[in-house]
Amino acid sequence: MIEPRLSPSIRWIEDVRVGDLGGASCGRLGDDLPDPVEEPFGLAMVEAMVSGTPVVAFNRGAAREIVEPRLTGFLAGSVDEMVAQVKEVGTIDPIACSERARDRFSPSRMADGYEAVYRASLN
């Protein structure tokens, strides 16, 4: 339903793989600026990391649980720190970033985690 409505300058990618984000050097740079919010879960961050694109995000909300500094991205305490970290994203191996994100956030891993929490809540 979405793809036919896209302009010719936009490319639909059904299954994002390493390197598919158009050469982006990093993802999730702070689309929540200037008023950062505490996200309960950052799916956009996971999607970027799965594609091998490191994430630079504020050290708050779900980012603290999702981003592994120097492996899948960086966590910043301020805008100035974020700007400095963008210059470091090239030190992150895209393949290692992707593999780690796929390991941590695969559908089966997520389902197993939800089931474990559910079972624990019954006790």
The one-letter code for the residue type at 113 is G
The two tokens of residue 54 are 């490191």
Angle between helix 94-105 and 43-50 (nearest 10): 130
Residue 8 near residue 71, CB atoms below 8 Å: no
pLDDT attached to residue 61: 86
pLDDT attached to residue 110: 87
Residue extents of the structural domains in the chain? 3-122
Q: Report the chain (123 residues): mean pLDDT per 10 consecutive residues.
A: 75 62 59 55 85 90 93 92 90 95 92 92 88
Backbone angles phi, psi at 14, to 5 degrees: -70, -45
Residue 45 near residue 27, CB atoms below 8 Å: yes
pLDDT attached to residue 14: 64
Strand spans (E) along the chain? 55-58, 73-76
Strands 55-58 and 73-76: what pairing?
parallel
End-to-end CA distance of the chain: 44
pLDDT attached to residue 34: 42
Q: Is 23 left (phi over 0), alpha (psi -120 to 50) or beta?
A: left
